[in-house]
Amino acid sequence: MRIASLFLFLFLCGAAMRVDADATAPPLIPLPAELSYGSGHLRMDASTSIVLQPNDAANRATAGYLSSLLRRTRGLSPRILASAPEVVAITLVRDPHATVVNAEGYALDVDAHGVRIVSRDDAGLFHGVITLWQLMTPDALHGAVQVPVLHIRDQPRFVWRGLMLDSARHFQSVAEIERLLDQMAQHKLNVFHWHLTDDQGWRIQIKRYPELTRMGAWRTPPDAGHDGEPERYGGFYTQEQIRQIVAYAAARHITVVPEIDMPGHAQAAVASYPQFGVTGKRPSVSVDWGVNPYLYNVDDGSFDFMDHVLDEVMALFPSKYIHVGGDEAVKDQWQASPEVQAKMHALGLKDEDALQGWFINRIGLYLAAHGRQLVGWDEILDGGVSVDATVMSWRGSKGAIKAAQQGHDVVLSPAPDLYFDQLQSDRVDETAGRIPAQSLAHVYAFEPVPKELDAAQAAHVLGAQANMWTEHMPTMKHVEHAVFPRLDALSEVDWSPAASRDWNGFLGRLPAQFARYRAQGIGYADSTFAPDIKLDRNAALVGGTAQVTLSNQAGYGEMHYTLDGRAPDRHAPLYQAPFTVKLPVTVRAATFARDGSMLAAPRQRVLDRTSLLSLSGNEMPNCPGSDFRLRVQPMPDATSLAPVYSINVFNACQLYPATPMDGVARIHVDAIRLERNYALAHDAKLVVSRPHNTPFGELVVHQDQCTGLVLATLPLPDPEHSVRRFTLDAALPAQQGGHPLCLIYTAPIDGPLYALDRVALIPGTTKP
């Protein structure tokens, strides 16, 4: 039966996959297209073997992958045999004439005698093996496992199921990328989009142009050699390493699509070979995140350079697609260049957008002549581009709609929906990333086919891809925290029939997936299930008691809590309704699945007057007028997950929420000085500049609103002769009743940024 019908059947039987789900329901992610149950179970244990067709090297590699994976995650090591033994066996059959499934699809049957997986191609067989591995790892146990008797007939919804990794802003090792590729394979994703060049680094060895990696692969960080910043930052992949990664991906049926960004995001290349830039001058490799001004020139020498680079790229990457960027090309240098303007007019082009369209089309023709196809971000539509170009829509879904209506193939990769550098939650303990948060539920609800497209236009939608930009992700620890488990949601969006998606069912399948992550050492985030411990802060400050509410982002799982200092386990009180506590007390809570596994590590909140009067800057919202917000690390290349600080590069102003001010005598601020390494291009004019009365600016505290009464002015120290973390203290005038506070930094905007680590109100005569 169809999987959607299966869900309906389970629901009517009172066994829908919620927190009280039937524990025997297979925890498969992504859901198969069709699944039906038989009667009984098949025991699989140390005697189970894998049987191959004769002389099938591809099957042997797939069988070896399954055996290795089971050894690491289940403690089983099936033998690989050429003929069927009398004991239970897993039989792998690749039959190009099989009619049961299409390309990348497979049929998987479990009966009382064994498992049989049939596919038309190697990719389908591999995907079937991944499904079997998931059936054999329904929990965190090792040893024998009971697999339900069932029939699966499965195939992907989309042909492009992608993840992009930015290796230009921060660099990952070959081993780390292979580890990510393994997880992509286990989620049936098949396109690894590799962002290899940008303003901040050139990461691919091009033998004809050695300066690209001798110079372009390295940058001198701000304040190099101090506060944990390296003397220089960078690295690159040799051609041999790239071949290794491409082969590793191919063995897992993943295509690596390289991105060589042009005509913008070219600063590292121009720093290496200034003659291919517009001005002829050599910039440094950029240390600034954002939009930098450097473009490639449009003369013949520059195109020869790009053609030669692409020759070596195509020799390394067998992918049909080559991504050439095309995004965020600020046209100032082209506009200011008499030579570029003359070229534009000679070509009869009306403006610089049309010049970019001509540029991209020229590159596209070169790729097409070599049997490849150009992919670019949706800006390539702005100047007109050949219908052969594939468009990756990142500025929302409008680019995909426009492109598909014009006959382009499209990949949906919109910001912020599928930008995995967006925070997973707005929790105070979340790590660095962009705001607003994009939750697991948000990703799961994403629909790749815009409703504005008719059936013919919708056929141009190749699939969806998540993007992992790394400006604020310096290590693979950061990447894993940001990617997992949102990759699980993406895999189901890309693979499973749209009608089968069920949020509660998906949540019910996650505990087993978390166990698989733990078995492989993957640092997934538990943000979706982490307990939020909430109360009426002001009522607690006034009355000394608090009504505590526990919740989590998903509204899922069992939350257990303690008030006596013990770590919460499943024997601790089960949260069922808000409860009242008397201050002081520490509330600890954790979230558990039905099977007893922990969905989220314990969180705690200390409830006393001192703690309630002290707030993290991550808890304090922006002042009205600008919603831009980032959580950043103390230095651009800091490798720790914490601490992180919330900033608004356009307006350094935050609100301390309304608080009973009776008896409050002082304000104490833990402040942090940060690098202003943000290239804002034409948006730089939006940065708010405020007058300051001391040489390095002040932190000004206003009552009620940002134009309200000034309660305190706290001068900032000399950034050249002070530590990055410092404290500010000031007396506050006596106040009555509840008031919010507006805290504004007036530091010069051509200097460093400042953030609020923590703001505490101090009662009575307490000394700072």
Residues belonging to the active site? 198, 265, 328
**Amino acid found at 311:** D
**Amino acid found at 733:** P
Q: Are 444 and 501 in contact (CB under 8 A)?
A: yes
Residue with tokens 């070169």: 366
Q: DSSP character for 286?
A: P
Q: How far apart are CA 614 and CA 669, in angstroms?
A: 9
Cα–Cα separations (whole angstroms), residue 202 to 69, 168, 209, 260: 34, 6, 11, 9
Q: Are 732 and 703 in contact (CB under 8 A)?
A: no
Q: How far apart are CA 704 and CA 706, in angstroms?
A: 7
- H, E, C per residue of 467-520: EECCCCCCCHHHHHHHHCCHHHHHHHHHHCCHHHCCHHHHHHHHHHHHHHHHHH
Q: Are 271 and 197 in contact (CB under 8 A)?
A: no
Strands 433-434, 461-468: parallel, antiparallel or unpaired by DSSP?
unpaired
Q: DSSP character for 131?
A: H
Residue with tokens 């382009």: 408
Residue with tokens 């099938």: 56
Q: Are 716 and 725 in contact (CB under 8 A)?
A: no
DSSP structure string for 700-729: EEEESSTTS-EEEEEEPPPGGGS-SEEEEE
Element (H, E) at 73: helix 57-73
Q: Are 443 and 489 in contact (CB under 8 A)?
A: yes
Cα–Cα separations (whole angstroms), residue 481 to 173, 323, 429, 488, 686: 17, 26, 12, 13, 32
Q: How far apart are CA 144 and CA 137, in angstroms?
A: 10
The three-class DSSP label of residue 368 is helix
Tokens describing residue 316 = 């390394």
DSSP structure string for 271-283: HH-GGGBSS---P
Q: Are 111 and 147 in contact (CB under 8 A)?
A: no
Q: Are 338 and 392 in contact (CB under 8 A)?
A: no
The three-class DSSP label of residue 102 is coil
Strands 585-592, 433-434: parallel, antiparallel or unpaired by DSSP?
unpaired
Contacts of 478 (CB under 8 A, 6+ apart): 431, 432, 470, 472, 641
Q: Are 213 and 283 in contact (CB under 8 A)?
A: no
Q: Phi first, then psi: give them for residue 453, nearest 5 degrees.
A: -90, 140
Pick from 413, 323, 412, 406: which is nearest to 372 by CA? 323
Cα–Cα separations (whole angstroms), residue 525 to 16, 423, 473: 26, 11, 14
Pick from 158, 153, 161, 154: which is nearest to 188 by CA? 161
Strands 218-219, 233-234: parallel, antiparallel or unpaired by DSSP?
antiparallel
Q: Phi first, then psi: give them for residue 326, nearest 5 degrees.
A: 90, 0
Element (H, E) at 305: helix 300-316
Q: How far apart are CA 270 and CA 212, in angstroms?
A: 9
Q: How far apart are CA 354 and CA 347, in angstroms?
A: 10
